[in-house]
Amino acid sequence: MTGPQDESPTLEETTSSPTESPTPQPTATTDDEPVVSEKKVEYLQFGGMAVPEGVMMRSPNYYAVACRAPNGDIIVKTEALQKTWFGKLTFLKKPFLRGSLALLDTMGLGMKAMNFASDVQLNPVYVKEEDRDQAKAEALEQAKATPKEFRTLAIISVILVLLAGFLFPGIQPFLAGAKGFDANTMLWPAVALGSAILSTIMTIFWAPIKFRLSTDEKLAIGVAVVFSLGFGFLIFKAAPEAFAQFVSGNADKGGTATNYIAEVFKVVLFIGYLVLIRRIPAILDTFKYHGAEHKAINTIEARVALDIPNCMAQTRLHPRCGTNFAIIVLIVGFLLFPLFPRYPIIFGYQLVGAAAVVFRLFLDFLVFTPIIAGISYEIIRLAGNMKDQRWVEVLLKPGLATQLITTEEPEEKHVEVAVRSLQAVLTAEKTGELENNELKQFTV
């Protein structure tokens, strides 16, 4: 992911130098000259991200998504950027708050891009004409619940019900009318009981739930985003904290050592996860589109013609990649998060064990994540102003090294899509013309 420099900051903004001057507009271009700003190339306000079988690019005023459809065509969608409701909140543009705005803005635009990319890959209208009837039939069949899915959900439900039954004595006094909820002893039984109930409901109503998700694209994308965020929080936040608590037990009375164990485990999980998913062919192909996106941006910043040969000659790494932002967030979190007491006293009641972990995760989600994102964002902006300094080079090296994992050397077919996407926003900035070649939608 490569970041633009925008009046309304986004997560893709990374090492570009901030400027208070008006947004520079791209100049006219010929076949031999790319669209570039009158300012130095470091101030170019173009960035993007990889999506399944495609690339999203954004400029100061527009964004475009180009995807290669199953029939081999490149489908392009270009739209003007619209400020979201939180983008209109001026107080969120203040230093140390704009990092959260960047995160939210990027999530919103990313959802739109993923929505379009998913439709291109799944909608039978983009399949070769001779295979279209078969694709429609397969789409209808895939919308039906299968016996294997029911068995899997049933097994999960039974396990959760047994676990809830095993832990039930811990919460029974509260359900029987005992005064007060002892979080230290009753939290896990309550979580197990709630999970068992939800899983059972999901199993019973799985057939209509799956059909609705298969036929309502917006609902499916929303559920996928919520699930992805929940899965990410569970794996990269909850699991490290629970693991650290399990390892230290009651030995670490102050909790500081346990905090650092959790932070180390977060880094290990993050890097390990990236290395692991590279082994999935579809993900590796997306990493090739990520590399192609970087090459296209590097091409216009090098002030050479935006064509496939010139793009192929560029490096697949980029200092403004969102991977750098993620690494800075990990570093800042490692330095700051352990300083908060692990076993706080709330209204005279000291939280320990599972209750302390859950309370810490709650604070992480609502308080620490916005703070760490804000600090990390300001560090990136400062680095953009001082990019020739030695400390900036050292700061960016971990992120560039991680890009060797999150990008892969692309083929010409990947670069062709990235060029098409970038050219769409360049044309839109120059002429106002929006390239859109979407076909009629098919619904199950």
How confident is the model over 345-355, as pLDDT tens digits? 877 777 777 78
Specify the pLDDT at position 245: 83
Question: Lowest-confidence range among 78-82, 130-134, 269-273, 379-383?
Answer: 130-134
Residue 131's pLDDT band (cuts 50, 70, 90): low
- Which pLDDT band holds residue 17 (cuts at 50, 70, 90)? very low
Task: Identify the CA nearest to 301 among candidates 13, 16, 1, 97.
Answer: 16
Query: How many other C-beta atoms are found inside a 10 Å radius of the C-beta of residue 6?
Result: 21
Check whether 335 has a pLDDT greater than 80.
yes
β strands within 27-84, DSSP E: 47-51, 54-58, 62-68, 74-80
- pLDDT tens figures, 41-99: 333 478 889 998 999 998 888 899 999 988 888 999 999 887 655 556 666 677 777 77
Percent of residues, the chain, with pLDDT higher than 90: 17
* Structure tokens belonging to residue 213: 């998700």
Q: Read off the amino acid at residue 103.
A: L
Name 75's bridge partners: 67
Distance CA 206, CA 204 (A): 6
Contacts of 59 (CB under 8 A, 6+ apart): 4, 26, 45, 46, 425, 426, 428, 429
pLDDT digits (tens, 9 = 90+) for 144-188: 888 888 888 899 889 988 887 877 776 666 555 555 555 556 666
Tokens of 64: 């475009």
Neighbours of 256 (CB within 10 A): 14
Confidence (pLDDT) at 164: 79
Q: CA 101, CA 93: separation in Å to the nearest integer?
A: 7
| CA atoms of 399 and 331, how far apart (whole Å) | 11
Could you report the per-residue pLDDT of 403-415, keeping only the tens digit for each? Answer: 999 999 999 999 9
Mean of all residue pLDDT scores within the chain: 77
Question: pLDDT band for position 121 (50/70/90)?
Answer: confident
421 pLDDT more than 90: yes
pLDDT tens-digit map of 201-242: 988 988 888 888 777 766 776 777 777 778 888 888 888 888
Percent of the chain with pLDDT over 70: 76
pLDDT greater at residue 3 or residue 269: 269
Stretch among 106-115, 193-202, 209-218, 322-331 having the lowest mean pLDDT = 209-218
In a 13 Å sphere around the CA of 107, the CA atoms on its Cβ side amount to 15
pLDDT of residue 427: 92
Q: How far apart are CA 209 and CA 149, in angstroms?
A: 12
Reading the block at residue 27, the tokens are 């100049």
User: Which residues touch 214 (CB under 8 Å, ≥6 apart)?
Assistant: 139, 142, 143, 220, 444
More confident position, 47 or 104: 47
- What pLDDT does residue 25 have? 39
**Token couple for 24:** 């520079």
Could you tell me if 278 and 405 are in contact, meaning their C-beta atoms sit under 8 angstroms apart?
yes
CA dihedral 28, 30, 32, 37 (to 10 degrees): 10
- Given a cut of 90, is residue 419 above it in pLDDT? yes
